[in-house]
Each structure stands twice: as C-alpha cells, then as structure tokens.
Amino acid sequence: MNRPIVLAASGLTKDFPGVRALDGVSFEVRQGEVHALAGANGAGKSTLMRILSGAERPDAGEILMHGRPVRFRSPHDALRAGVAMMHQELQPFPAMSVAENIAMGREPARGPLGWLDKAAMRRQARDLLKRLEAGIEPDRIMGTLTAAEMQTVEIAKALAWDSRVLIMDEPTSAISSREAEALFRIIGELAGRGVAVVYISHKMDEIFRLAARITVLRDGRRVATRPAAELNPESLIALMVGRELSAPQAGGQPPTGELALEVRELRQAGAFEGVSFSIRRGEILGMAGLMGAGRTAVGCALAGIEPASAGEIRVSGSPVRIRNPRDAIACGIAWVSEDRKGFGIVPRLGVKENITLASLRRFCYGPVIRRREEEQAAAAQAQALSIKTAGLDRPVQTLSGGNQQKVVLARGLLAEPQILILDEPTRGIDVAAKAEIHGLIRRLAGGGRAVLLISSETEELLALSHRILVMRQGRISGELEAQGAAAAQILRLAMPD
C-alpha cells in the first residue's frame, strides 16, 4: 500500500550551544500510519519532533505538508496546519481547570466579543476523557492532578485539535497499563481514520505492537527506516546503540543480611494506611501498583517530604522519626523522585552543583566549599552514570531529560545512603543507560545497601527485585518472591476488585 505522505522533512539540521542535535535528518510519515521513532537519550528524537510541531525552528532543511512547503513560526501555526504534539515534559496551566487546559487555544466562544462557552468546553472535555477511560472530572484544577493524570489530559488535548498528524512523545511513561490500553485503542482508531501518528517511545513492546514502520535516530542522524515486521527488539536496540547489548540478569539469591529498614503500620491520611514491610541489607524490594495506589506517597513519607501521620520506622533496628528531608538524609535514606522537574534539579545551577547538593557538607572545610574535591566527586559520579554533558559547569537545564534524571540519581547516590528509595528511576531513560543503571542498582545492593524500587515497569521489577510488594488503593495487597513470579500475578494484585 502506498498511502500518500502527509508530513515530510528533509535535511533538517539544528544546533544548540555546544552540540549538534540534528544533522541532515529526513523523515516522512504517511496517512493512517503509526510510525515509531526510536533512539537513545540525546539521539535527537525530541528535537526532531519539536521542529515538526513548530516549537523550534530548524537551522537548515525544509518541511512539506501534503507536498507543500510550510514554515511553522509557532506551535499554534503547526496546530492550525494539522500537526499536534503531545510533549514528554508536561506543560499544563496549573491554576486552570482540566476543561480549560484541554480547550486552550481553541476555546468555544460565541459572538463577536468571544464570550466563552464554558458548558461546551466542559462537555467536550468530558467526551474526550471518557473515550480515554480516564476518571477525571473536567472541573478539577490542573495543578491538583498527579503526573499521570496530567498526561492523560495532555492526550485529550492533542485529540481535541482533530489533527492530521499526531506526535506523541513517551505518552505512556506516567500512566497505568489500563489507561495505556485505552490509548492504544484510540491510536488504532485514529490511524483507521487516516490520522498519521508518530510515536516516540523506549518501550519495545509498545513499539512493536503499534508501529507499521520504525525510524531510528542515533547521535542526531537517521540511521534506518524499516517496516516493523523486519525488526525485532534485539536488532532495534542494536541499531539504536550501534552494538549488541547483553540481556539483563535476573535477580539473584534472596539476601539474608540484617534488617536495614522496618516499617510498621505506616499511615498518611488520604494516601495510605497499614503499610508494613521490611528490607534487609543487600536486598532490592520492588513496589508495584497502579497509578495512585500510594507507592510514591510511601516513598515520600520515608524521605521526609510528606511525613507519615502515624506508624513506626526503624533504621538498622533503631526507631527514628522522619519529619523532614534532613531527618531522612541523616538516617542514611536517599530518595530519587520520579518528578525531576519538581523535586529533582535546580535548573540554573551547574551539573556539578546539582550532584553535590545533598552532600555538600562532605566537601566543606567548615563553611567553605573545597572546590577541587567537589569537582572530583561530581566527575566520578557523572562518569559512573554516563551523564552526557558539554561540561560539569553547564547549567543542568541544558541537559536532555534522561540525563537530568541521571543527575538526580547521582545526587542521591553521592550521599552514600544505606537505604535507597528509587521512584521510577529509569523513566525516560534510553535502553543502554537503563541497563547501566540496573547494573548499578544491583551493585549497590550487592554492596550492602537496601533498595526500595518503585516502578511501573513490570519487567524492571521482575528483573531486579528479590521480592515485590504490590500496593492497591493505599494498602499493601500482596507480596511475591520475584523469582518465578509473573507479570499477570502482579497485575491481579494491583487491580481493584
């Protein structure tokens, strides 16, 4: 079948200070096609999509829409031309309602003055959200939604524009599998109606399930465009990385060291209750569950961000009180959040300063910072995690999303914690780096640390954890030995009855 090409780009080049993000890239997508875009972190996927959706302008090259050259001066231009983009980094209006966010830019209005038709906005929002099977009320204030709920709303927003080309950048990174299923169904519908979908993802199963063709970018260049049927996960990874990668090891023997962390009857009003578990030294305890089950809240409670209202916590046998992050750090607990923009990076400080922020005291002589030692420690961490940056002094906001996440992880690790709480540590990180981080997590556990691994990726949990706890609606619904467990069991424990 040779369906007409809807959107085509040729020779796109884009430079940022210190790095060439795209180098002569050509790309095209056909009507009704789901075209996956794959590549490692920093390969240029996001940049390419930002250019195609009007958020950036290329330094060279041209874009053709339905065969006619176009120049997008803004995302609004692109939206009106029929290209909609759903971003990886969410950009909502937190003070406005869900309905207002969805309608942004094309609010239904009546009369010459533009009187807003709020009822129509609400109706449209409700319809779109229902199609996505999301239980979100259109009148809720955007800022009160969780990251996952916000992403669902973003999808609704992109759908609202009724575009010819829909670009989705990691759309399932923060939503539950049930919502992801709904999304896939919708993508199928849209493709059936002739909409071209460009799908950027790190998840192999999704790529191969949805895509008709796959384009691979590496280091800013287009390496291949093939029909999905001609590829499999290994060959795809090989194209992305440029070399073969060994498969991740399964979790080893259950450790029998002493108890590093014990939690009893932990409770936080409205988030979770009756949470009890323990982690031994050298053990990786996975935590599974649907979005909103309370896993992040438990992590935050242990990290001191939002202390628990009741319950007992013991570190290495001694009871402790964690009322704020300093208490947690003092107990040797490090926390790496899923929300790197919120709790993670200080955007304008350098990479080095971000990495050392939680353990700055170590590099000080009294109140004075010892620059050289700080530099060395930060450099060591950056290398260990393969953080890609033009320099340790560059502001961390210049790094790609995945590398920013690595910086947050480095910060947590530099504090040399005894207990590590990782909340979605590899979200948005490419396959090669993910394998490195998995290896690192295993090494940390092997070195005697206790790890609480909160993740929505069942393969990750199964591959790394010794045991897996499943949370459901604020309580622990079950515990499994990872060896021999299956994804289906986890899902069953996670789903509400």
At its nearest, how many Å lie between other proteins and the CB of residue 334? Answer: 10
Whichever of 173 and 356 has its CB closer to other proteins, that residue is: 356
Q: Which of 160, 241, 303, 437 is the binder for other proteins (CB under 8 A)? A: 303
Cβ-based nearer residue to other proteins, 47 or 458: 47
Residues 6+ apart with CB under 8 A from 130: none
Q: How far is the CB of 118 from other proteins (least distance, A)?
A: 29
Does 467 interact with other proteins (rule: CB under 8 A)? no
Q: How far is the CB of 329 from other proteins (least distance, A)?
A: 4
Shorter beta-carbon distance to other proteins: residue 35 or 411: 411
What are the two backbone dihedrals, phi and then psi, of residue 173, each rounded to the nearest 5 degrees?
A: -65, -25
Nearer to other proteins, 231 or 415 (CB): 415
Q: Which residue, 264 or 362, has its beta carbon nearer to other proteins?
A: 362
Nearer to other proteins, 65 or 420 (CB): 420
Pair of tokens at residue 457:
């990726």
CB of 325 to other proteins, least distance (A): 5
* Least CB distance to other proteins at residue 348 (A): 5
State yes or no: residue 342 binds other proteins (CB under 8 A): yes
Query: Does 57 help bind other proteins (rule: CB under 8 A)?
Result: no
Nearer to other proteins, 10 or 324 (CB): 324
Site membership for other proteins, residue 343 (CB under 8 A) = yes
Residue 342 C-beta: closest distance to other proteins, Å: 5
CB 336 to other proteins: min, Å: 9
**What distance lies between CA 56 and its chain's CA centroid?**
22
Give the residue with the Cβ less far from other proteins, 113 or 368.
368
Residue 90 near other proteins by CB under 8 A: no
Residues 347-376 that bind other proteins (CB under 8 A): 347-350, 352-353, 357-358, 360-361, 364, 367-369, 371
Q: Is 305 in the site for other proteins (CB under 8 A)?
A: yes
Distances in Å between the alpha carbon of 319 and those of 311, 324, 333? 11, 16, 14
Six token digits for residue 436: 């490195």
Whole-number Cα distances in Å, 310 to 272, 274, 321: 11, 9, 10
Convert residues 394-423 into a mask of x (bound to other proteins by CB under 8 A) and - (unbound).
-x---------------x------------
Interface with other proteins: number of residues (CB under 8 A): 34
| Residues 493, 497: Cα–Cα separation, whole Å | 9
Q: Name which position in 255, 325, 448, 478 contacts other proteins (CB under 8 A).
A: 325
Nearer of residues 241 and 308 to other proteins, judged by Cβ = 308
Q: How far is the CB of 340 from other proteins (least distance, A)?
A: 9
Note whether 221 and 27 are within 8 A (CB): no
**The one among 82, 344, 425, 474 contacting other proteins by CB under 8 A:** 344
**Of 20-28, 245-253, 312-320, 322-330, which part binds other proteins (CB under 8 A)?**
322-330
The minimum distance between CB 347 and other proteins, in angstroms, equals 6
Nearer to other proteins, 330 or 390 (CB): 330
CA atoms within 13 A on the CB side of 393: 2
The CB-of-160 to other proteins minimum distance in angstroms stands at 31
Nearer to other proteins, 393 or 459 (CB): 393
* Shortest distance (Å) from residue 375 CB to other proteins: 9
The least distance separating other proteins from the CB of residue 398, rounded to whole angstroms, comes to 12
- Three-state secondary structure string covering the chain: CCCCEEEEEEEEEEEECCEEEEEEEEEEEECCCEEEEEECCCCCHHHHHHHHCCCCCCCEEEEEECCEEECCCCHHHHHHHCEEEECCCCCCCCCCEHHHHHHCCCCCEECCCCEECHHHHHHHHHHHHHHCCCCCCCCCEHHHCCHHHHHHHHHHHHHHCCCCEEEEECCCCCCCHHHHHHHHHHHHHHHHCCCEEEEECCCHHHHHHHCCEEEEEECCEEEEEEEHHHCCHHHHHHHHHCCCCCCCCCCCCCCCCCEEEEEEEEEECCCEEEEEEEEECCCEEEEEECCCCCHHHHHHHHHCCCCCCEEEEEECCEEECCCCHHHHHHCCEEEECCCHHHHHCCCCCEHHHHHHHHHHHHHEECCEECHHHHHHHHHHHHHHCCCCCCCCCCEHHHCCHHHHHHHHHHHHHHCCCCEEEEECCCCCCCHHHHHHHHHHHHHHHHCCCEEEEECCCHHHHHHHCCEEEEEECCEEEEEEECCCCCHHHHHHHHCCC
Is residue 184 a contact residue for other proteins (CB under 8 A)?
no
Please report whether residue 277 would count as binding other proteins according to CB under 8 A: no
Nearer to other proteins, 16 or 115 (CB): 16
Chain residues binding other proteins by CB under 8 A are 303, 305, 324-326, 328-330, 335, 337, 342-350, 352-353, 357-358, 360-361, 364, 367-369, 371, 392-393, 395, 411
